[in-house]
């Protein structure tokens, strides 16, 4: 093989992109590309972009501006730098990107990453490549099998795509346009990937997709399997200690999935279940197709199956027409449910989505004021949730070296990072850790002599 070249992938946006960035590194590895952690000295720079925020494209263009300088400097030194734009801005803007930013060599849509090596080779010959169509054949199939070494370098926790795309068309969201229709990956394909990951030392998998619990992939029996049944299949794989999934839609919390939360110890008691708003009129205008009461009912079913389940959510404030009273319904929903964490956003109009055309667009200062009020409540809940862990012994998966020598960072079942003093050989083990203190970004704990506290229902309170 030729000499090693350097690849820098910068990831923006959701987990889907984080995962895709790894896939891109995997497809480039056989061509001799090794990942590096900055653009300086890289031979190939990929910007894996997100289109969810307003001015997302503008930010990418200024990012490209900085890369253009690096590219020119490298060229002066006789070195060739290839710049690729991938992800959702690439999907949305396509050809426009190479027109506006001639420094860009490749524009690649999210369905076409398997063709990257060939694109990079052609770009070296001076061609401009734009490839953003949605292939109809199984888009997961075309990816090469990851090499064992690349799996190893992924560490203890890995993402696995189980479905892509979304058919829900929430009126604020670009995903159905940028990521296309919902497609589920067959059960055995997923199981094979998870087996390989487990073989490479991975202990925790997070099943990802834009709408992961809408999963309905084909099982061995030729039938469509619901998500809960897929969980059972994956939980059987030796070495896999923990399973998580994100992101889910409240309407797709089907019975087999709720039952999996009850029956599978590997399925972690933490769920990101975006609700966006606590007001029925706003939910309807968002085309979420469920009510506030429906959301509470889902939470009740989940807590019935897994009393210690901790929840997180996404919220949008200042959706067009949202009144102060309607906004307060979101606050009261947060108070009623109690979240371990949450992401909250000011509504930002996305061109081409129905909400962007709606009357009653709310002024920025108002949105910002609402956001601050909402975040104050969520932050208080998050702090209380973390503080409640102190004095408890929780099972912690030790994942990687920590901030200080001798420290290892692990994760509790509830997604809290914990710093523990422990020998590096313990990385990969799940061990009981007594939580001693809470910091800003993580908990602190000590390896415990005894097992985890049997009932953690109090933690969710
Ligand atoms: N599939 C997931 C989330 C996809 S986007 C779901 O159905 O919930 C991630 C989050 O970004 C959304 O949950 C929403 O809270 C936020 N978001 C999406 N579009 C937005 C917009 N136009 N303005 C503000 N926030 C938005
Ligand atoms: Fe977007 Fe709604 Fe689909 Fe989530 S469910 S990806 S918010 S359209
Ligand atoms: Fe952003 Fe695309 Fe994800 S728009 S949130 S990166 S699907």
Class of residue 32 by CB neighbours under 10 A (exposed 0-12, middle 13-18, buried 19+): middle
Residue to probe by mutation, ligand 2, list 14, 210, 353, 356, most atoms within 8 Å of CB: 210
Specify which residues 270 forms β-bridges with.
310
Q: Which among 16, 51, 52 is the best mutation to test ligand 1's pocket, defined by most ligand atoms within 8 Å of the CB?
A: 52
Pocket residue to mutate for ligand 2, from 13, 17, 164, 166, most atoms within 8 A of Cβ: 166
Residue 196 CB coordination number (10 Å): 16
Length of the chain, in residues: 461
Any atom of ligand 3 within 6 Å of the Cβ of 448: no
Residue 41's DSSP bridge partners are none
pLDDT recorded at residue 3: 67
* CA 210 / ligand 2 centre spacing (Å): 7
Q: Which atom belonging to ligand 2 lies closest to the Cα atom of 247?
A: 4
Could you say which DSSP state residue 301 is in? Answer: H
- pLDDT tens digits, the chain, 461 residues: what are they? 446 899 999 999 877 788 889 889 988 988 889 999 999 999 999 999 998 887 888 999 999 999 999 999 999 999 999 999 999 999 889 999 999 999 999 999 987 898 899 999 999 888 999 998 764 444 555 555 554 444 434 579 888 989 989 999 999 998 898 888 999 999 999 999 999 999 999 999 999 998 999 999 999 999 999 999 999 999 999 999 999 999 999 999 999 999 999 999 999 999 999 999 999 999 999 999 999 999 999 999 999 999 999 999 999 999 999 999 999 999 999 999 999 999 999 999 988 899 999 999 999 999 999 999 999 999 999 999 999 999 999 999 999 888 788 999 999 999 999 999 999 999 999 999 999 999 887 899 999 987 776 555 444 33
Separation of alpha carbons 375 and 383, rounded Å = 12
What pTM was computed for the model?
0.86
Is residue 175 lining ligand 3, measured as CB closer than 6 Å?
yes
| Distance between CA atoms of residues 109 and 248, nearest Å | 24
| Ligand 1 atom nearest to CA at 344 | 15
Report the half-sphere exposure of 216 (CA within 13 A, side-chain side).
Answer: 9
Judge if the beta carbon of residue 165 lies within 6 A of ligand 2.
no
Q: How far is the CA of 41 from the centre of ligand 1 (A)?
A: 35
Which pLDDT score is estimated for 133?
A: 78
Dist. CA 69 → ligand 3 center (Å): 27
368 alpha carbon to ligand 3 midpoint, in Å? 22
Residue nearest to atom 7 of ligand 3 (CA): 175
**Nearest-CA neighbor of 276 among 262, 259, 290?**
290
Q: What is the pLDDT of residues 58-70, one digit of tens each?
A: 999 999 999 999 9
The protein residue with its alpha carbon nearest to ligand 3, atom 3, reads 14
Beta strands in 157-196 (DSSP E): 157-161, 163-164, 183-184
What is the structure's pLDDT at 360?
98
Matching residue, tokens 């939470």: 299
Alpha-carbon 292 to chain mean position = 25
* 191-to-57, 232, 348 alpha-carbon distances in Å: 37, 11, 38
Give me the residues paired with residue 396 across strands: 431
Q: Whose CA is nearest to atom 8 of ligand 1?
A: 274
For residue 48, the ligand 3 atom closest to its alpha carbon is 6
Cα angle value 458/312/160 (rounded, 5°):
115
- Ligand 2 centroid distance, CA of 51 (Å): 13
Q: Which residues contact 100 (CB under 8 A, 6 or more apart)?
A: 61
**Residue owning tokens 């900055």:** 38
pLDDT, residue 144, reads 52
For the chain, the distance separating the N- and C-terminal CA atoms, rounded to the nearest angstrom, is 57
Please report which residue ranges of 248-291 form alpha helices under DSSP H: 255-263, 280-285
Taking the centre of ligand 2 as the mean of its atom positions, its distance from the CA of residue 39, in whole angstroms, is 32
Query: What confidence score (pLDDT) does residue 154 get?
Result: 55
Q: Which domains does the chain have, with CATH numbers?
A: 5-131 (3.40.50.12160), 139-387 (3.80.30.20), 393-458 (2.40.50.140)
How far apart are the CA of 173 and the centre of ligand 2, in A?
6
- CA dist., res. 108 & res. 27, Å (int): 14
pLDDT at 350: 87
253 lines ligand 2 (CB under 6 A): no
Cβ-based neighbours of 238, under 8 Å, separated by 6 or more:
198
**SS3 of residue 64 by DSSP:** helix
**Is residue 282 within 8 Å of 323, Cβ to Cβ?**
no
Residue-level pLDDT at 241: 97
In terms of C-beta density within 10 A (0-12 exposed, 13-18 middle, 19 or more buried), how is residue 221 classed? exposed
Strand partners, 108: 86, 131
- CA-nearest residue for atom 1, ligand 1, is 210
Residues whose beta carbon lies within 6 Å of some atom of ligand 1: 14, 52, 172-173, 175, 210-211, 247, 249, 274, 276, 314, 316, 345, 347-348, 350
Considering only CA atoms, which of 14, 10, 11 is closest in space to residue 345? 14
Instruction: Determine the 3-state secondary structure of 109 from DSSP.
Output: coil
> Which residues neighbour 411 within 8 Å (Cβ) at sequence distance 6 or greater?
157, 204, 396, 397, 399, 417, 418
Residue 77, classed as helix, strand or coil, is coil
């Amino acid at each position: 093989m030729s000499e090693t070249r350097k690849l820098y992938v910068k990831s923006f946006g959701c987990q889907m992109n984080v995962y895709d960035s790894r896939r891109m590194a995997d497809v480039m590895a056989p061509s001799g590309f090794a990942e590096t952690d900055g653009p300086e000295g890289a031979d190939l720079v990929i910007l894996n972009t997100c289109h969810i925020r307003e001015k997302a494209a503008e930010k990418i263009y200024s990012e490209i501006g900085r890369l253009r300088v690096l590219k020119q400097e490298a060229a002066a030194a006789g070195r060739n730098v290839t710049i690729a734009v991938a992800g959702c801005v690439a999907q949305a803007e396509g050809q426009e990107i190479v027109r506006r930013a001639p420094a860009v060599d490749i524009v690649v849509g999210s369905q076409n990453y398997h063709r990257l090596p060939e694109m990079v080779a052609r770009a070296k010959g001076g061609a401009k490549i734009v490839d953003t169509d949605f292939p109809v054949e199984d888009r997961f199939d075309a990816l090469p099998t990851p090499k064992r070494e690349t799996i190893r370098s992924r560490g203890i926790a890995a993402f696995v795509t189980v479905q892509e795309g979304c058919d829900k068309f929430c009126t604020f969201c670009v995903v159905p346009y940028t990521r296309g229709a919902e497609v589920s990956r067959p059960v055995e394909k997923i199981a094979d990937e998870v087996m390989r990951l487990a073989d490479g030392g991975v202990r925790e998998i997070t099943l990802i997709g834009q709408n992961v619990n809408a999963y309905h992939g084909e099982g061995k029996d030729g039938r469509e399997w619901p998500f809960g049944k897929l969980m059972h299949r994956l939980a059987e794989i030796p070495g896999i200690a923990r399973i998580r999934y994100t992101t889910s839609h409240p309407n797709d919390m089907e019975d087999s999935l709720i039952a999996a939360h009850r029956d599978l110890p590997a399925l972690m008691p933490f769920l990101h279940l975006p609700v966006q708003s606590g007001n029925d009129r706003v939910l309807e205008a968002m085309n979420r197709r469920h009510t506030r009461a429906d959301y509470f009912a889902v939470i009740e079913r989940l807590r019935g199956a897994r009393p210690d389940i901790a929840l997180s959510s996404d919220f949008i404030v200042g959706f067009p027409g949202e009144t102060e009273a309607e906004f307060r319904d979101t606050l009261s929903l947060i108070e009623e449910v109690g979240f371990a964490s949450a992401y909250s956003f000011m509504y930002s109009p996305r061109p081409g989505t129905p909400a962007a055309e709606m009357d009653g667009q709310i002024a920025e200062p108002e949105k910002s004021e609402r956001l601050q009020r909402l975040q104050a409540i969520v932050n208080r809940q998050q702090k209380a949730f973390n503080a409640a862990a102190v004095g408890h012994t929780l099972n912690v998966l030790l994942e990687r070296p920590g901030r200080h020598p001798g420290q290892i960072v692990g994760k509790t079942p509830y997604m809290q990072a914990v710093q523990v003093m422990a020998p590096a050989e313990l990385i990969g083990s799940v061990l009981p850790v007594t939580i001693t203190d809470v910091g800003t970004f993580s908990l602190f704990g000590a390896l415990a002599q005894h097992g985890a506290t049997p009932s953690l229902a109090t933690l969710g309170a």
